[in-house]
Amino acid sequence: MKVLLPDTIPLDPDLPAGVTTAVYDVRRPLPDEHTDAEVLVVWGNTPENLSDAAQRLKAVRWVQTLAAGPDAVLAAGFAADVVVTAGLGLHDRTVAEHTLGLVLAAARRLNRLVRAQIGRRWAGEWGGPQPVDEPGAFRTLRDANVVIWGFGGIAARLAPLLAALGAHVTGVARGAGERHGFPVVTDADLPGLLPETDLLINILPATPETAGVLGAAILDRLPAHAWVVNVGRGATLDEDALLAAIRAGRLGGAALDVFAEEPLPVASGLWDEPDVIITPHAAGGRPEGASALLGENLAAYRSGGSLRNVVS
């Protein structure tokens, strides 16, 4: 059985007997000698490479993406009987860390301070004595109401970090209850939370159901001082509605790591907004434990067992 490994990350999984590997260039069409591969591992592939693989890998039966979201693989056109597994869990720590950075930058207005630094201006309005309590503003995580929409593995890492700094965290997921010590409600309960929310963090995956779901209907229910952070998928956010809300003063600001089109077009109005923080899809990018996950799934695949993170 041949397994194709991407050249974008060094992988050294434990290989079951009879399994061979070959490294391929994720930016070019697959070499003819590798079109007999049964397993394809994906990380950083271009859309053209994935489309080529979907058309020419006639023997492929399983695609393992190291990305947490499988949307690029699902869009490539692989046959319906090809099993797809995702890299859930590989990015939990790195995305949580980056998200915390965005949240603190927003609360402490580092976006404004960096702009002032570039202009060599001492931004005294953001320094010196400040109110301990500032109603109608998001300036600290202390006693802030934070809602995390998409309460999975990343949120499980992130929520305790926010709580340690004094935030009150509520998760939103498909099922209600308690997860990792935090209250979780369903999408149906989200509108009732929004008027008291200081910070809405979106970690939703890209699916047909979540396309543009973070739009005007959600944004209009947030208080005018609230911030939105998106580290899920760009397709879940209505960027035009977000921009309109910020420009109209109906939203405090946004910190965005993912976008509907990447790279974000130069013409996007998001670039010029002083209360929009932009990072270039930088939250993940470091799949921790990828070799271990691949080795575990290869062993399960060869023995007829259950694969981890199968995409339905």
Lateral strand order in the sheet of 83-85: 20-24, 2-6, 39-42, 62-65, 83-85
3-state secondary structure 208-269: CCCCCCECHHHHCCCCCCCEEEECCCHHHECHHHHHHHHHCCCCCEEEECCCCCCCCCCCCH
- Please check whether residue 26 lies inside any domain of the structure: yes
Task: Please state the rounded mean pLDDT for residues 168-176.
Answer: 98
**Structural domain count, the chain:** 2
- pLDDT for the residue 259: 98
pLDDT, mean over the chain: 97
User: What is the distance between the alpha carbons of residues 288 and 64, in angstroms, rounded to a whole number?
Assistant: 15
Residue 226 binned pLDDT confidence (cut-offs 50, 70, 90): very high
Residues 122 and 233 in one domain: yes
> Which of 275, 162, 266, 149 is CA-nearest to residue 215?
149
Task: Please state the rounded mean pLDDT for residues 26-37.
Answer: 98
- Please check whether residue 311 lies inside any domain of the structure: no
Residues 230 and 149 in one domain: yes
Residue 44 binned pLDDT confidence (cut-offs 50, 70, 90): very high
What are the CA-CA distances from residue 276 to residues 109, 163, 228, 253 (Å)?
A: 10, 24, 9, 6
Residue 3 binned pLDDT confidence (cut-offs 50, 70, 90): very high
Residues 41 and 25 in one domain: yes
Residues 132 and 39 in one domain: no
- pLDDT for the residue 120: 98
Residue 293 binned pLDDT confidence (cut-offs 50, 70, 90): very high
- Please check whether residue 135 lies inside any domain of the structure: yes
| Strand stretches in 91-198, DSSP E | 145-149, 168-172, 177-179, 182-185
Task: Please state the rounded mean pLDDT for residues 6-14.
Answer: 98
Residues 153 and 225 in one domain: yes
User: What is the distance between the alpha carbons of residues 171 and 201, in angstroms, rounded to a whole number?
Assistant: 10
Q: Percent of the chain, pLDDT > 70?
A: 100
Task: Please state the rounded mean pLDDT for residues 25-52.
Answer: 98
Domain that holds residue 30: 2-90+287-303
- pLDDT for the residue 206: 94
Residues forming the active site: 233, 262, 281
3-state secondary structure 19-57: CEEEEECCCCCCCHHHCCCCEEEECCCCHHHHHHHHHHC
- Please check whether residue 310 lies inside any domain of the structure: no
Task: Please state the rounded mean pLDDT for residues 142-161.
Answer: 98
Residues 174 and 74 in one domain: no
| Strand stretches in 43-195, DSSP E | 62-65, 83-85, 145-149, 168-172, 177-179, 182-185
Residues 234 and 85 in one domain: no
- Please check whether residue 100 lies inside any domain of the structure: yes
- Please check whether residue 312 lies inside any domain of the structure: no
Residues 80 and 58 in one domain: yes
- Please check whether residue 308 lies inside any domain of the structure: no
The domain spanning residue 206 has which CATH number?
3.40.50.720
pLDDT single digits (tens) 103-149? 999 999 999 999 999 999 999 999 999 999 999 999 999 999 999 99
The domain spanning residue 69 has which CATH number?
3.40.50
- Please check whether residue 46 lies inside any domain of the structure: yes
Residue 47 binned pLDDT confidence (cut-offs 50, 70, 90): very high
Residues 32 and 100 in one domain: no
pTM of the predicted model as reported, rounded to 2 decimal places:
0.95
Residue 91 binned pLDDT confidence (cut-offs 50, 70, 90): very high
Residues 178 and 292 in one domain: no
Looking at residue 174, what DSSP letter applies?
S
pLDDT single digits (tens) 270-280? 999 999 999 99
Residues 133 and 231 in one domain: yes
Residues 183 and 53 in one domain: no
